[in-house]
């Protein structure tokens, strides 16, 4: 299946899996998706992820994190920049998601990172999405 916006597909699969309370979700592997999964893992939104290859096609399985009451740790995911409308921000204008309770994910010249890390390193870039 051809996907025009791989990041939106990644976020939608995770959003649907958390609403259905799935233990894990399978997504297409790419360097960008792996970077996003690593950020979600580091921020505590995912337990871990594994990359598997079958028949020349690589997929990634992301194990989602839930609270003891089976409620998802991820409350929401929103795509900010899209292929039709890119949104670039400087480090001074980096948004704070719910006063630090969420994260903004930014792609910079130094790689994909959270908004707070980009602010700390004083680099701007394309604002991909926000997670809370």
- Measured in degrees and rounded to the nearest 5, phi and psi for residue 25 equal -140, 140
pLDDT value, residue 1:
63
Which domains, and CATH codes, for the chain? 6-131 (3.30.1490.10)
pLDDT value, residue 3:
78
pLDDT digits (tens, 9 = 90+) for 72-91: 999 999 999 999 999 999 99
Asked whether the whole model's pTM tops 0.85, one would answer: yes
Q: Are 39 and 103 in contact (CB under 8 A)?
A: yes
């Amino acid at each position: 299946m051809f996907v025009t916006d791989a990041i939106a597909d990644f976020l939608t699969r995770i959003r649907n899996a958390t609403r259905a309370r799935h233990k894990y979700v399978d997504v297409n592997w790419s360097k960008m998706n792996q970077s996003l999964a690593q950020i979600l893992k580091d921020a505590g939104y995912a337990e871990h992820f594994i990359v598997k290859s079958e028949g020349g096609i690589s997929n990634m399985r992301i194990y989602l994190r839930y609270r003891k009451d089976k409620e998802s740790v991820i409350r929401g995911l929103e795509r900010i920049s899209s292929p039709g409308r890119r949104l670039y921000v400087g480090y001074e204008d980096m948004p704070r998601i719910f006063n630090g309770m969420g994260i903004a994910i930014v792609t910079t010249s130094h790689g994909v990172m959270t908004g707070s890390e980009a602010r700390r390193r004083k680099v701007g870039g394309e604002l991909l999405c926000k997670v809370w």
